[in-house]
C-alpha cells in the first residue's frame, strides 16, 4: 500500500453536478482528500456553461473516472427511494449517482453487510461493533469481583460475623446526622459568597451573550451560514471506502438512510440532515415535492410544511408541534350555483354570487381551472429581461401572494362582513 493512499481519508469519492458547477470544494481539495474520483457521463453533460465546462475539462476531467452503475444497483436504489418517498423528486442521473456509490461501497466492503436493505431496518452498520462490546463486557465482568476478593482477603476476615458487624457499622454511620452538620468557622462562611459572586456574574454574562453576533464570533456565524446551519458536520476520523458529495437534499436523504457516507462541501462528514417535507393533516401522507398543493393520496388541500431530520444511522424523524390545532376557519360556506351560457359561447352568464366572487373556484387538482391557472403562472415566470416593455415588480408594485402558488378555494375571510352585505 502506497503512502499516498494512507494519507488520504477517502478512497473513492462520487461527485455530483452541484459541487462541480460551484467549484466548492475546489479541484485541489478533491485531489488532496480522495484517492479516486468517480462520476457518471450524465453529470458532465449537465454542465452547459462554457466557462464552467472549460474549467472542468482542463482541471478535473484528467483525474476523474467515468463509470456507469449496473442495472441491479439502479433497481435497488430505485426501490429504496420509492420506500422513502424520494423517488418522485429524483431524476435518472440522481439515481445513477446513488447507485454508483452503493456499488462501489459493496465492492470495497465485499458485500452489502453494512448497508440497509429497507428504510424500516434498524442499525446494521454497527452490528459487529456492538457484538464486540458485548463480548468484551462479558469477559471483563468476572474479573472485577475476583480482584476485589483478592484485595480484601488479607485485610478482612472471611467469617460471616465480621461481615455482619461491618454492615451494622455502616448502618450506624448512615443514620447519624451529626457528622454531616459539622459547624463551619465564620472565616469559611465569609469566603464562600466572595468566590461564588463573580462566578455567577460571569455565567449570566455568558448566558446573555449566547446567540448574539459579536466581532469575536462573527467568523463562526459566517461559517455556519455557509453550511446552511442545518447539517451538523464532523471531521473524518476513520478512512472512508466510498463517499458521495452532493447538494441535493433528496439524494442526501436516500444516502443517509441507506447507510452510505455523505460529505459536505467542506469535505467533512454529514451526520444529520434536516429538511422540509409536506405532510397531509388528513391522511398523514408525506411528500417531498414542495410544489404540491393537494395531497397525492387523499386529494385534499391539507398539506402542511413540516420539518424532518435523518441521522447517520438512517433514522427518519418528523418534528411536529406539541399542541398543534388545525384551523377550520373559512371551511363552511355556500358555493354559488353554476350558470349556463349559450351554445355559441358569446354569453357566458354572470353567476358566481355577488360581484362574481364564486367564479372559477378550485377545490381539486384535476379541475381544468387549476390546470389553466398553473399554465398562466408558468407563463408569468418566463419573462424576457431584455424586453423594452419589461418592468420589475419592485417598480410596478406587483406582488405575488401565497408564494406564487394558485389560490385554493375562496380564502379564510369568506364569512366576513364584506361578503354578507
Q: Is 308 annotated as a binding residue?
A: no
Q: Is 106 annotated as a binding residue?
A: no
Cell of 175: 443514620
CB 1 within 8 A of CB 30: no
Distance separating alpha carbons of residues 122 and 299, to the nearest angstrom: 32
Distance separating alpha carbons of residues 317 and 386, to the nearest angstrom: 47
Half-sphere exposure of 377 (CA within 13 A, CB side): 15
Buried b (16+ CB within 10 A) or exposed e, 264-283: bbebebbebbbbebbbbeee
Cβ atoms within 10 A of the Cβ of 25, count?
18
User: What does the CA dihedral 155, 157, 160, 164 come to, rounded to 10 degrees?
Assistant: -40
Q: Is 283 annotated as a binding residue?
A: yes
Q: What's 128-143 look like in SS3?
A: HHHHHHHHHHHHHCCH
Half-sphere exposure of 26 (CA within 13 A, CB side): 3
Distance separating alpha carbons of residues 150 and 160, to the nearest angstrom: 17
Q: Is 280 annotated as a binding residue?
A: yes
CB 327 within 8 A of CB 408: no
Binding residues: 280, 283, 295, 298
Binding residues for Zn(2+): 280, 283, 295, 298
Amino acid at each position: 500500500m502506497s503512502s499516498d493512499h494512507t494519507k488520504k481519508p477517502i478512497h473513492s469519492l462520487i461527485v455530483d453536478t452541484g459541487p462541480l458547477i460551484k467549484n466548492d470544494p475546489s479541484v485541489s481539495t478533491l485531489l488532496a482528500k480522495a484517492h479516486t474520483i468517480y462520476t457518471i457521463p450524465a453529470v458532465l453533460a449537465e454542465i452547459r456553461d462554457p466557462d464552467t465546462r472549460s474549467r472542468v475539462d482542463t482541471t478535473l476531467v484528467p483525474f476523474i473516472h467515468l463509470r456507469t452503475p449496473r442495472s441491479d444497483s439502479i433497481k435497488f436504489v430505485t426501490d429504496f427511494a420509492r420506500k422513502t418517498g424520494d423517488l418522485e423528486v429524483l431524476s435518472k442521473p440522481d439515481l445513477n449517482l446513488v447507485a454508483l456509490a452503493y456499488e462501489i461501497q459493496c465492492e470495497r466492503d465485499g458485500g452489502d453487510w453494512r448497508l440497509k436493505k429497507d428504510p424500516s431496518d434498524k442499525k446494521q452498520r454497527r452490528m459487529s461493533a456492538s457484538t464486540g462490546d458485548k463480548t468484551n463486557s462479558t469477559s471483563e465482568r468476572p474479573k472485577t469481583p475476583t480482584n476485589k476478593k483478592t484485595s480484601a482477603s488479607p485485610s478482612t476476615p472471611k467469617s460471616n460475623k465480621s461481615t455482619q458487624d461491618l454492615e451494622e457499622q455502616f448502618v450506624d454511620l448512615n443514620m447519624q446526622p451529626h457528622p454531616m452538620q459539622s459547624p463551619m468557622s465564620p472565616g469559611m462562611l465569609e469566603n464562600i459568597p466572595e468566590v461564588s459572586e463573580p462566578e455567577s456574574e460571569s455565567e449570566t454574562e455568558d448566558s446573555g451573550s449566547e446567540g448574539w453576533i459579536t466581532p469575536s464570533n462573527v467568523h463562526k456565524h459566517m461559517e455556519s451560514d455557509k453550511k446552511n446551519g442545518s447539517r451538523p458536520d464532523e471531521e473524518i476520523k476513520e478512512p472512508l471506502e466510498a463517499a458521495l458529495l452532493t447538494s441535493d437534499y433528496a439524494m442526501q436523504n436516500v444516502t443517509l438512510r441507506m447507510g452510505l457516507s455523505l460529505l459536505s462541501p467542506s469535505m467533512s462528514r454529514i451526520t444529520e440532515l434536516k429538511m422540509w417535507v409536506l405532510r397531509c393533516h388528513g391522511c398523514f401522507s408525506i411528500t417531498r415535492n414542495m410544489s404540491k398543493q393537494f395531497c397525492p393520496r387523499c386529494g385534499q388541500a391539507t398539506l402542511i410544511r413540516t420539518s424532518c431530520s435523518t441521522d447517520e444511522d438512517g433514522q427518519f424523524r418528523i418534528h411536529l408541534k406539541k399542541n398543534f390545532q388545525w384551523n377550520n376557519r373559512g371551511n363552511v360556506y355556500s358555493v354559488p350555483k353554476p350558470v349556463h351560457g349559450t351554445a355559441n359561447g358569446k354569453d357566458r352568464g354572470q353567476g358566481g354570487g355577488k360581484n362574481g366572487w364564486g367564479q372559477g373556484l378550485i377545490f381539486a387538482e384535476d379541475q381544468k381551472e387549476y390546470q389553466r391557472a398553473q399554465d398562466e403562472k408558468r407563463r408569468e415566470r418566463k419573462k424576457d429581461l431584455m424586453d423594452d416593455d419589461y418592468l420589475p415588480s419592485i417598480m410596478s408594485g406587483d406582488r405575488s401572494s401565497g408564494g406564487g402558488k394558485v389560490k385554493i378555494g375562496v380564502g379564510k375571510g369568506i364569512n366576513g362582513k364584506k361578503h354578507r352585505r
